[in-house]
Amino acid sequence: MPVINASDRVLTEGDRFAVLEGVTATDKEDGNLTDKIQVLKNTVNKEEAGTYEVTYKVTDSQGASTIKTITVTVREKSADKPAEPQKPNKPADTKPGKPSQQSESPKTADMSNIGLFGSMFAGSSGLLTMLLGKRRKKK
């Protein structure tokens, strides 16, 4: 027994409709029977929105036949109207907010070694002054 492979279709008014497009038929004994498909009924009016029927029939070499009817829905063509842009929402509160108050400034550097470096500098300067003073006395 042959099998017709066809499914319901949806079109928009004015779309191209080929009644046999995408329709196939096969049979275990004969194989591909797509070229043997007959259209028994085609009520499709692609220019008018509505629901229509197409009926197909295929017969194999032994005389066995199959009939299948599909539904073709033609949708109304929408008017070519540009979409209206959405209006932005206004915020509920338009007053600026108060800045946040911080109790103390953030620490940006490590100050723990300044005393150490200061005393090393003073000691080095004193030592240098002493050495230079002794050299002058010897000359």
**Is 11:46 a contact under the CB 8 Å cutoff?**
yes
78-130 pLDDT per residue, tens: 766 666 777 777 766 667 767 666 667 666 666 667 777 788 888 888 888 88
87 burial via Cβ count (<10 Å: 0-12, 13-18, 19+): exposed
28-62 pLDDT per residue, tens: 999 999 999 999 999 999 999 999 999 999 999 99
Does the pTM surpass 0.95? The reply is no
**Residue 47 resides in a domain:** yes
Short-list 43, 39, 44, 40, CA closest to 75 = 44
**Residue 45 resides in a domain:** yes
| Number of domains making up the chain | 1
d(CA 2, CA 33): 8
**Residue 4, C-beta contacts closer than 8 angstroms, at least 6 positions apart:** 23, 24, 25, 37, 56, 58, 66, 67, 68
**Residue 63 resides in a domain:** yes
Residue 45's domain comprises: 3-75
Greatest alpha-carbon span in the chain: 137
